[in-house]
Structure 1
């Protein structure tokens, strides 16, 4: 399966002088889920029809990292696009997407750093338009730099996620427990757009991915019948009628 993040990853790899080796491991990984082959979760990959779209602006080598969760968003949400970020260049495809009249873009970023008039906390229904959530996929320091140095995003309303939810992401360290990973942010956005089933599915998929990833690091086989796997399989059947 090829999606926007996979294609961006392939493009980034083709431009490198030497292969990218994930930190701490040289074990071959499944190209479909980026987990060691013994812990592959490709058969568990869900996909949910959504009205909302996702636009990932990815910092430098972020698409290459096996722990990147933007990949999970592209697995689940069919209308996901991904663009590499550069301080000096802007992908014309990104500008065209942001100007596409079918979309109402929201730049997702903490509102505490901005003037109040630019910040929104709800997704407004706009006739004839679908919500498009623009996510800066990077570490927190990198995301702040991207926000400051991307003037082509300055006209977008900024969606600030107001929540006391703590991140459950365990694959990278953060200095703050309230900094959500990209997949968690996307799930919150989907919920705000009224796409509860898609939000729950993405959340469940992240939990299963995290389990497989950590089990692989510890050389422990995943329990395919645990609560996380059962939840994901139930959600993959579709929303309750």
Structure 2
């Protein structure tokens, strides 16, 4: 039976991507109009229509890994952006606007923090030096995760053509290993499609990274993030097509089952 879920009245605490969106809106000289998105009022916490709000499902989990999301100029404004979902799920998510000519000092400070071992997550075929490329965080690779360090995954959140430009024109990232993912599944993201099935949306990439860490809490968070994307996609499309939100759908049941599990702390 279908039903409409509405979030609880208590406000959702803004996270890094939400704050970046607020700052980006403050710089705008005209309203941002989402192409093809649902019209009308949106929830500030999840960017969906209030009738399809999923703020009550926001998990915000502790993980060993963290994410540094570098967002192309318009990405924080897009309702379909999935970097937002990473910050919903993974408590230690940092978000910055990307610039070709300037580097935010906070990015430099984050990348220099000795607790982190940064990895730029991008297809290895685009790295100029093959020695920079790794495909795992353990094993015999010389750039594998060092003892006592926590992985910091750097994600380039943009369209595919924009992300390639960001990768080429961010020299402050050149000293870090490139984590090249080769998943055995095709992208299920339905809101904005790449021409290639092996191009994943930002939250799918993040989920794969968490599973690579191997810690129980991170693997669990990766599964939650993947399922959380499924519910977000379902509700986004239901709102777009003026269909009621279905709290009993398979996507909802899978997410709820994962949220009922409490893994060991990282």
TM-score bucket of the superposed structures, by smaller chain: over 0.9
- The answer to whether the aligner puts 1:156 opposite 2:170 as a matched pair is no
Counterpart of 2:87? 74
The one of 117, 128, 135 aligned to 1:121: 135
Q: Give 1:125 shift.
A: 3.7
The one of 94, 98, 102 aligned to 1:89: 102
The one of 137, 151, 170 aligned to 2:157: 137
Secondary structure, in 3 states, of the residue corresponding to 2:191?
coil
- The answer to whether the aligner puts 1:18 opposite 2:38 as a matched pair is no
Structure 2 gaps of 5+ residues are 1-12, 138-143
**Does the 8 A contact of 1:70 with 1:182 survive in 2?**
yes
Task: Give the Cα separation in 1 of the matches to 2:63 and 2:263.
Answer: 16
**Does the 8 A contact of 1:62 with 1:138 survive in 2?**
yes
Q: Give 1:162 shift.
A: 1.4
**1:173-215 Cα shifts (integer Å, max 9, x gaps):** 2110110000000000000011210110000000000000000
Q: Give 1:112 shift.
A: 1.4
Counterpart of 1:165? 185
Task: Give the Cα separation in 2 of the matches to 1:240 and 1:149.
Answer: 39
Counterpart of 2:9? none
Task: Give the Cα separation in 2 of the matches to 1:8 and 1:35.
Answer: 18
Counterpart of 2:249? 226
- The answer to whether the aligner puts 1:62 opposite 2:85 as a matched pair is no
TM-score by length of 1: 0.97
The one of 30, 33, 50 aligned to 2:63: 50
Deviates more, 1:45-54 or 1:20-29: 20-29
The one of 198, 206, 210 aligned to 2:233: 210
Task: Give the Cα separation in 2 of the matches to 1:151 and 1:59.
Answer: 16
Q: Give 1:128 shift.
A: 2.0
**Does the 8 A contact of 1:164 with 1:178 survive in 2?**
no
Task: Give the Cα separation in 1 of the matches to 2:185 and 2:74.
Answer: 28
Task: Give the Cα separation in 2 of the matches to 1:165 and 1:20.
Answer: 34
- The answer to whether the aligner puts 1:192 opposite 2:206 as a matched pair is no
Q: Give 1:226 shift.
A: 1.4
TM-score by length of 2: 0.88
The one of 6, 17, 20 aligned to 1:8: 20
**1:98-134 Cα shifts (integer Å, max 9, x gaps):** 0000100000000012232010001134222110000
